[in-house]
Amino acid sequence: MKKTVRDIDVRGKKVLVRVDFNVPLKDGQVSDDTRIRESLATIRYLLDQGATKVILMSHLGRPKGKIVPELRMDPVAKRLEQLLGQGVRKVDDCVGEEVKKAIAESPEKVILLENLRFHPEEEKNNADFAQQLAELGEIFVNDAFGTAHRAHASTAGIASYLPAVAGLLMEKEISHLSLLLEKPERPFVAILGGAKISDKLGVVRNFLSRCDFLLLGGGMANTFLKASGYDVGESLVEDEMLEECRSLLKEGGAKFALPQDVVIADKFEAEANSREVPAWGVVPGWRIMDIGPETIEMFTQNLPESKPWCGMGHWAFLNSPNSPREPSP
């Protein structure tokens, strides 16, 4: 098992923590604070153990290396402050001398950096950017399980410059996942989502050998649908992964459950026209936005007595006494 915060002495140290605060916002406020709540155990533990500063860093949304005012971390800092019951200092960048100065002068022990993905270097795992992040702390704690599979500067790169351990949430997720993969109850069902298949290939292949069924949703399902011969219109698709998806579908056979129906829209905006159609009925020029009600029913049928083990960002795993139906061809 990877070393955790319990295995190190943080007293008197500045601790840099990668959290997953990629939370939904509505009208400038956090509309679902689950991920923030999940981080509280690690933050409080570090404070209780005498860390001088707990410096939190996260991405929010997909600003693609540019400053997007709507994706600033201020609403997150406000909600975190409410949940912690103490002050949280939000700084306006995540690297640089001004950030160092703000951390040093802050009377608050908890500091939240600005959106990491305002810098294109983050997703490129740029070594200089990772080193600049590392200069802000003395110990690195990774508590962002949902992004741990990404080789970004704040997850992989920074570990080259600081002693690195797992946070309490990361420890919990790994423990649950290890137990689940080693001794699962049967039938074992995996629900897979997220935007891309390219960064989850290893996960999918791993579960193919362990699961009885894989239920596919999210953006990645579009690529599998197209690989199956469906016209998906203007939907998010990784065309370079089509052959890989065809191979996985052939390998997995009846284990795969693709969406039977989908919600489509004529544009990616809140005011877009939308409708529910069969998976084979996507209107040219429209795009898939979500799974449809028949698919929701298919995914949930026979699972009311299932045992949720863990939810980890893009994935949830369940054990059910009955198998879900296969999708219609």
**What is the reported pLDDT for 311?**
34
Using alpha carbons, select from 9, 16, 91, 101 the residue that is nearest to residue 53. 16
**What is the reported pLDDT for 1?**
52
Coil, strand, or helix at residue 156? coil
Per-residue pLDDT of 27-57, as tens digits, reads: 999 999 999 999 999 999 999 999 999 999 9
Helix (H) or strand (E) holding 204: helix 201-208
The phi and psi torsions of 5 (rounded to 5 degrees) equal -60, -20
What are the DSSP calls for 8-63, one per residue? S--TT-EEEEE------EETTEES--HHHHHHHHHHHHHHHTT-SEEEEE---S--
Using alpha carbons, select from 258, 299, 292, 259 the residue that is nearest to residue 275. 292
**What is the reported pLDDT for 288?**
95
Per-residue pLDDT of 214-262, as tens digits, reads: 888 888 999 999 999 999 999 999 999 999 999 999 988 888 889 999 9
How many CB atoms are located within 10 Å of the residue 37 CB? Answer: 12
The chain-wide mean pLDDT, for the chain, equals: 87
What domains lie within the chain, and their CATH numbers? Answer: 5-170 (3.40.50.1260), 184-319 (3.40.50.1260)
Per-residue pLDDT of 316-327, as tens digits, reads: 444 333 333 333
**What is the reported pLDDT for 25?**
92
Asked whether the bond before 187 is cis by omega within 30 degrees of 0, the reply is yes
- Name the CA dihedral angle for 22, 27, 33, 34, rounded to a multiple of 10 degrees: -70
Poorest-pLDDT segment among 61-65, 186-190, 307-311: 307-311
Q: In the 8-state DSSP scheme, what is residue 95? A: S
**What is the reported pLDDT for 209?**
80
Asked whether the predicted pLDDT for residue 7 surpasses 50, the reply is yes
Poorest-pLDDT segment among 76-85, 256-265, 298-307: 298-307
Q: What is the largest CA-CA distance in the chain?
A: 62
Centroid of chain to Cα 225: 22
The single-letter code of the amino acid at 112 is L
Per-residue pLDDT of 88-125, as tens digits, reads: 999 999 999 999 999 999 999 999 999 999 999 999 99
Percent pLDDT > 70 in the chain is: 88
**What is the reported pLDDT for 231?**
95
Asked whether the predicted pLDDT for residue 165 surpasses 90, the reply is yes
Per-residue pLDDT of 172-221, as tens digits, reads: 877 766 666 666 777 788 888 887 888 777 778 888 888 888 888 888 99
**What is the reported pLDDT for 178?**
65
Poorest-pLDDT segment among 21-25, 90-94, 195-199, 271-275: 195-199
